[in-house]
């Protein structure tokens, strides 16, 4: 038998593992302490920043509350933007006058804080997003101050405010429908453009994924190009109106070209395609010269190009021209428009090396299909103004032009 003693439970002490004891949350005390720093320094943001830096307050835990104190002077109540019970100061962003000189010091102050405590950048983003999503809870004058602050923040390249943080939260249906968003972005645009160019503003909108969606800022009942132009023109933002008009024009052109290319690729009925293009042009109110350009581009985009076989590419272009000549003929209704088509053919062949030699064949085919008139070809040959590859193309077209001139003399 084993001489070992059997284990017993008597007298055994079970050791308990020590656990970290979390300090209880006390946001009210933190808020009051930050407010007191403002009050002790009478709102002098230089001194406030120094006191903030030297304090031992827990900014890591209460970063959001810190920015609530910065923006509205105290801690906010749950589910609202109004101050909760507790201390409050009157040196916040919404307590300032709605002027850049009054609000700019707050932007500079926040930039200093973020340089010393970069971990607060996320908190600034959180609070900004929450306030923008709750704009209806602010007074009109307070919303204007927030718009000015936001514009100055971008102008001063304030850390922690990526464009998507500002523009995307604004697109709540109720805010847009009430016109609150339109008023906010109008104040934002006007303030930002005081010291920045339209190109800078467009860059911000692009990063915020709003460059092509400016109409989304308007209430649905006013969402039209005319309303957009009227509103921002009245606000003195004519450059933005011109940019938007040009942008919308480009969008319409792309849409028409995409639809046309798709129909051509699917080998749809020519007459149906002509009617479809006519309808799109009518809705988009495109100038005739732009119609000719987009029709040619749409046809060429539908060509199945070969990588190296130039003859195959030439045959593809000529086949496309022959098949869709009625479409080209429908919209080339004057000598000026025919000349524009020749310039488009010239540029296509100049920019695409595999088509350099096909230029005279395309022109001759368009002539034989009654798309280009003899006078148009002769005018281009003698007085054409587009210099891109002109010398080469004139030389290659010379035999055909000579034939035209001889035929004219015989007649």
Q: What is the 3-state secondary structure (H, E, C) of the chain?
A: CCCCCCCCCCCCCCCCCCCCCCCCCCHHHHHHHHHHHHHHCCCCHHHHHHHHHHCCCCCCCCHHHHHHHHHHCCCECCCCCCECCCCCCCCCHHHCCCCHHHHHHHHHHHHHHHHHCHHHHHHHHHHHHHHHHCHHHCCHHHHHHHHHHHHHHHHCCCCCCCHHHHHHHHCCHHHHHCCHHHHHHHHHHHHHCCCCCHHHHHHHHHHCCCCCCHHHHCCHHHCCHHHHHHHHHHCCCHHHHHHHHHHHHHHHHHHHHHHHHHHHHCCCCHHHHHHHHHHHHHHHCCCHHHHHHHHHHHHHHCCCCCCCCHHHHHHHHHHHHHHCHHHHHHHCCCHHHHHHHHHHHHHHHHHCHHHHHHHHHHHHHHHHCCCCCHHHHHHHHHHCCCCCCHHHHHHHHHHHHHHHHHHHHHC
Closest CA to 375 of 326, 331, 325, 339: 339
Q: By CB neighbour count within 10 A (0-12 exposed, 13-18 middle, 19+ buried), where does 20 fall?
A: exposed
Q: Given pLDDT bands bounded at 50, 70 and 90, which one contains residue 127? A: very high
> Where residue 233 falls among pLDDT bands split at 50, 70, 90?
very high
Across 329-340, average pLDDT: 94
pLDDT value at residue 311: 81
pLDDT of residue 409: 65
- The pTM for the full model equals 0.75
231-257: average pLDDT: 92
Mean pLDDT of all residues in 23-49: 88
User: For the CA atoms of the chain, what is the radius of gyration?
Assistant: 34
Mean pLDDT of 310-321: 86
Average pLDDT over residues 205-214: 91
Q: 308-331: b or e for each residue (b if 16 or more CB lie within 10 Å)?
A: eeeeebbebbbebbeebbebbbbb
Q: Is the pLDDT of residue 11 over 90?
A: no
With cut-offs at 50, 70 and 90, classify the pLDDT of residue 21: very low
- Residue 158: what pLDDT? 85
Asked whether residue 380 carries a pLDDT value surpassing 60, the answer given is: yes
pLDDT of residue 166: 87
Per the DSSP assignment, residues forming a β-bridge with 76 are: 83
Question: For residue 244, what pLDDT band results from cuts at 50, 70 and 90?
Answer: very high
- Which residues are within 8 A (CB) of 193 and not within 5 positions of it... i.e. 6 or more apart? 201, 237, 239
Spatial contact of 342 and 380, defined as CB atoms under 8 Å apart: yes
Confidence label for 313 from pLDDT (cuts 50, 70 and 90): confident
pLDDT at 12 over 90: no
In this predicted structure, the answer to whether residue 8 has a pLDDT above a threshold of 90 is no
pLDDT, the chain, mean: 88
- Confidence at residue 23, expressed as pLDDT on a 0 to 100 scale: 44
| 210-215 CB contacts, 8 Å cutoff, 24+ apart | 210/163, 210/167, 211/247, 212/247, 212/251, 214/244
Tell me the pLDDT band of 3, cut-offs 50, 70 and 90: low
Banded model confidence at residue 304, pLDDT cuts 50, 70, 90: confident
* CB-CB contact of 327 with 270 (8 Å): yes
Statement: residue 314 has pLDDT above 50: yes
Is 157's pLDDT higher than 50? Answer: yes
Answer left, alpha or beta for residue 172, where phi above 0 means left and psi between -120 and 50 means alpha.
beta
Name which residue leads in pLDDT, 160 or 376.
Answer: 376
Give the per-residue pLDDT at 7: 58
**Amino acid 212: pLDDT:** 86
Choice between 305 and 2, residue whose per-residue pLDDT is larger: 305
> Which tokens hold the place of 49?
């920043």
The backbone torsions φ and ψ at residue 105, rounded to the nearest 5 degrees and listed phi first, read -55, -30
Separation CA 142–CA 132 (nearest Å):
12
For 37-64, how does the pLDDT look when each residue is reduced to its tens digit (9 = 90+)? 999 999 999 999 999 999 999 999 999 9
> End-to-end CA distance of the chain, in Å?
134
Are 167 and 209 a contacting pair, CB within 8 Å?
A: yes
Q: Nearest 5°: CA angle at 242, between 240 and 244?
A: 65
pLDDT higher than threshold 90 for residue 205 = yes
- CA–CA gap between residue 68 and residue 45 (Å, rounded): 16
Per-residue tokens: 210? 């709003």
Residue 83: pLDDT above 80?
A: no
Residue 107: per-residue pLDDT? 95
Residue 31 — φ and ψ, nearest 5°? -60, -45
Which pair of tokens denotes residue 165?
A: 């943080």
Q: Write the Ramachandran bin of 370: left for phi over 0, alpha for psi from -120 to 50, otherwise beta.
A: left
């Amino acid at each position: 038998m084993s001489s070992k003693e059997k284990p017993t439970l008597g007298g055994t002490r079970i050791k308990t593992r020590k656990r970290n004891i979390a300090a209880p949350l006390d946001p009210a005390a933190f808020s009051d302490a930050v407010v007191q720093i403002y009050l002790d320094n009478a709102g002098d943001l230089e001194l406030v920043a120094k006191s903030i830096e030297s304090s031992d307050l827990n900014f890591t835990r209460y970063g959001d509350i810190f920015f609530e104190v910065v923006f509205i002077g105290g801690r906010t109540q749950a589910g609202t933007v109004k101050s909760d019970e507790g201390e409050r100061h009157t040196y916040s962003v919404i307590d300032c006058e709605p002027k850049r000189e009054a609000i700019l010091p707050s932007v500079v102050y926040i930039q200093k804080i973020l340089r010393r405590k970069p971990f607060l950048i996320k908190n600034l983003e959180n609070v900004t997003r929450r306030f923008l999503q709750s704009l209806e809870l602010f007074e009109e004058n307070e919303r204007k101050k927030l718009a000015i602050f936001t514009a100055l923040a971008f102008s001063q390249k304030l850390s922690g405010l990526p464009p998507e943080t500002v523009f995307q939260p604004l697109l709540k249906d109720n805010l847009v429908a009430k016109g609150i968003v339109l008023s906010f972005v109008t104040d934002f645009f006007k303030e930002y453009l005081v010291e920045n160019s339209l190109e800078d503003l467009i860059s911000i909108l692009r990063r915020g994924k709003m460059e092509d969606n400016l109409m989304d800022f308007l209430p649905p009942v006013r969402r039209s190009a005319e309303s957009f132009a009227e509103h921002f023109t009245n606000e003195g933002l004519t450059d933005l109106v011109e940019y938007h008009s040009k942008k919308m024009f480009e969008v319409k052109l792309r849409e028409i070209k995409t639809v046309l290319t798709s129909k051509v690729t699917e080998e749809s009925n020519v007459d149906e395609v002509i009617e479809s293009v006519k309808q799109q042009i009518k809705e988009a109110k495109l100038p005739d010269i732009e119609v000719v350009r987009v029709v040619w581009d749409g046809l060429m985009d539908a060509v199945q190009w070969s990588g190296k076989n130039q003859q195959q590419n030439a045959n593809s272009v000529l086949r496309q021209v022959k098949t869709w000549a009625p479409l080209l003929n429908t919209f080339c209704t004057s000598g000026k428009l025919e000349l524009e088509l020749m310039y488009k053919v010239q540029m296509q062949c100049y920019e695409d090396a595999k088509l350099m030699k096909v230029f005279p064949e395309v022109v001759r085919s368009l002539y034989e299909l009654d798309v280009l008139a003899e006078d148009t070809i002769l005018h281009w040959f003698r007085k054409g103004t587009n210099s891109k590859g002109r010398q080469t193309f004139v030389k290659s077209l010379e035999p055909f032009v000579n034939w035209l001139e001889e035929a004219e003399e015989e007649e």
